[in-house]
Structure 1
Amino acid sequence: MRRMKIRSYAYTKGPDEIKFKDGSRWRHPYCAKNSYQLDMYEKVSQEAVEKAGIEMSDIDLIIVASAGMVQMIPCTAALLQERIAPNSGIPCMDVNTTCTSFITALDVASSFLVTELYQRILIVSGDLVSHFINPNQEESYRLFSDSGVAFIVETTKENKGILYSKQETWSEGAHTTEIRGGLTAYGPSLYSEDTKEDFLFDMDGKSVLMLTLDKLPKMLKETLQHNNIQLSDISKIVPHQASRALFIVERKLKLKKGQLINYFEELGNMVSGSVPYTLGLAMDQGEIKEGDLILLIGTAAGLTMNCMLIQL
């Protein structure tokens, strides 16, 4: 076990509710130049620090774990530090595995904590996805919500932490979810009315689902076998809230009723904010409690998949 405990957390979502036939989405109004993403990050970071009863100077490392950066350089964590801890020297880094970035960041953070390189780490996730979705692609346009989420994790001698983690990437799915434009493969100078959809999110949902249903059950089986447990031993499963396909995954895995936490109808797909927002909300609502054995699980662009078994 990589011993680690959650000290505090906070979350927020886009201010404007948009209703679709499959639920509510939460977004910011479009503005070509804005500070919405950093505004959300600053809010939840300050709230998490306040809830923890500490000062920002007690944070040893800031990790921003998101799909979308605020700008090309520097890292988004540095831009967040400028707001919440200027002149502090707190090291900063970004982690990006798109929708599963938070799980990957927990993996990285726990490894730092067990070596005692750092004692307390702030992880911030969530995306301003409303500015990158394509209104002409209904399949994906109706899925997404904006969010910001912060978790503070720290070292502990208690029997808490990460029991197991696994990440796989299946690059046959690399082009099933993508934004092609904006960086070196398709630079900003190529943007025009004719090419603008290359700078927006593009998804082949059916291909993503088929690859997920083929690969994810095998990954889950390996996770259970490695830890000598059954699905029934897991208190709650916290999935990336990708789409209504959660119901298909639930049936495919033959989960007991209520074991998989599903807030998709209420919140939509929050991209990197999805898993931590769901985790925080489930803890606040009493669905997840201290002492529970939980599984974080999700798929992301790449196609990347993550499983993480945590003893709370």
Structure 2
Amino acid sequence: MNGVEITGYGTALPKNTVTFGDQTRYRVVAGETQISLAVEACEQALRQGNLDITEIDCLVSASAVAVQPIPCTAALIHEQIAQGTDIPAIDINTTCTSFVTALDTFSTLIEAGRYTRVLIVSSEVGSLGLNPNQKESFELFSDGAAAIVLERSTNPEKGVISAMQRTWSEGAHQTEIRGGLTAFPPSNYSEETKEEYMFDMQGKAILSLVIKKLPKMMAAFYEQSGLSADLIDKVVPHQASRAMPLLMKKIGFSKEQYFDTVKEYGNMVSASIPFTLCNALSEQAIKDGDTVLFIGTAAGLTTNILAMRC
């Protein structure tokens, strides 16, 4: 077990909402940016944990889409909340599961003694890249941000129990934004090519691949971790789509075990899991000593599973 605990958390949402039937989505308006949402969430996490930024020894942006190609998004957040310090700023990107990858990576680095207290933030304004001609994705995604402070724990019962990440690249082109970097550089942009620079998702194909692969991965995770479905108190899944109940049932979790907030918040990309986590902590739906499972799929097709005793 990597001996870590969450000692601060915070979220941020745009002011504007749109509705699609009974579904609510948050979308940025003028004056709101990916950085402003990240900063708000970070500052809230620090306040909630009674901490100052100088007490953080690493700042991590775990987001799917960067603010710009270079520098890393974490450096741009650093500019707003940590300028004048030399706290390292690092980006982690496994798209929708970036937060879980960051939690896995930095719990290991904390356990190894490299860091003591890390601020991890996921912030997304995916609405800016949606294609209005693709109704499924256009009506699914929301903007938002969430941040946690992760630090070394003095309680031997708390920490990351086990983690697993796998990629099935037969699904690599089922979720894409092809334009903007070297495959389709900005110089190639035109009215004819503009959809290459927008989000493109084949939802049914992704779900089919996940249903085929995830049960075997879940079994391997249980063997590795020594856990089982009945030993998991709460599941914090990526809020990928309205098909979540089908997938949770497929891998053996009851409705009482997992959080489903797709109707209220939609899919916040990398911010989805930490936002759900922060809300659950705030509402005391996750209690001290609970064993919590984080699980999600991401473009690639990458899947992460991580169990933590909170």
Q: Which TM-score tier does this pair reach, normalised by the shorter chain?
A: over 0.9
TM-score (norm 1): 0.97
Conserved 8 A contact 2:297-2:304: yes
User: Equivalent residue of 2:150, what SS?
Assistant: strand
How far is the alpha carbon of 1:254 from its aligned partner? 3.3
* Alpha-carbon distance change, 35 to 286 in structure 1, aligned in 2, over 3 angstroms: closer
Amino acid at match of 2:142: S
Residue by residue over 1:129-155, the C-alpha shift from the partner in whole angstroms, topping out at 9 and shown as x without a partner, is 110111110011100000111100001
Partner in structure 1 of residue 43 of structure 2:
46
Conserved 8 A contact 2:5-2:151: yes
Percent of matched pairs sharing the same residue? 44
Q: In 2, Cα distance between the equivalents of 1:229 and 1:83?
A: 41
Q: In 1, Cα distance between the equivalents of 2:255 and 2:200?
A: 33
Q: In 1, Cα distance between the equivalents of 2:238 and 2:7?
A: 22
User: Equivalent residue of 2:101, what SS?
Assistant: helix
Residue by residue over 1:176-222, the C-alpha shift from the partner in whole angstroms, topping out at 9 and shown as x without a partner, is 00000000010001111111110000000111000110111111111
Q: In 1, Cα distance between the equivalents of 2:18 and 2:60?
A: 30
User: Equivalent residue of 1:289, what SS?
Assistant: coil
Amino acid at match of 2:186: P
User: Equivalent residue of 1:229, what SS?
Assistant: coil
Partner in structure 1 of residue 174 of structure 2:
176
1:309 partnered with 2:307: yes
Conserved 8 A contact 2:229-2:252: no
Between Structure 1 and Structure 2, how many residues are aligned?
309
Q: 2:250 aligns with which of 249, 252, 277?
A: 252
1:6 partnered with 2:6: yes
1:132 partnered with 2:135: no
Partner in structure 2 of residue 194 of structure 1:
192
Amino acid at match of 2:163: S
Conserved 8 A contact 2:144-2:271: yes
Q: In 1, Cα distance between the equivalents of 2:44 and 2:226?
A: 38
Q: 1:108 aligns with which of 92, 105, 108?
A: 105
Q: In 1, Cα distance between the equivalents of 2:255 and 2:142?
A: 26
How far is the alpha carbon of 1:255 from its aligned partner? 2.0
Amino acid at match of 2:93: N
Q: 2:149 aligns with which of 141, 149, 152?
A: 152
Conserved 8 A contact 2:245-2:255: no
Residue by residue over 1:5-48, the C-alpha shift from the partner in whole angstroms, topping out at 9 and shown as x without a partner, is 1011001122211111251111113x6xx661110111111111
Partner in structure 2 of residue 18 of structure 1:
18
TM-score (norm 2): 0.97
Amino acid at match of 1:20: F
Partner in structure 1 of residue 222 of structure 2:
224
Partner in structure 2 of residue 78 of structure 1:
75
Partner in structure 1 of residue 261 of structure 2:
263
Conserved 8 A contact 2:35-2:123: no
1:61 partnered with 2:33: no
How far is the alpha carbon of 1:223 from its aligned partner? 1.3
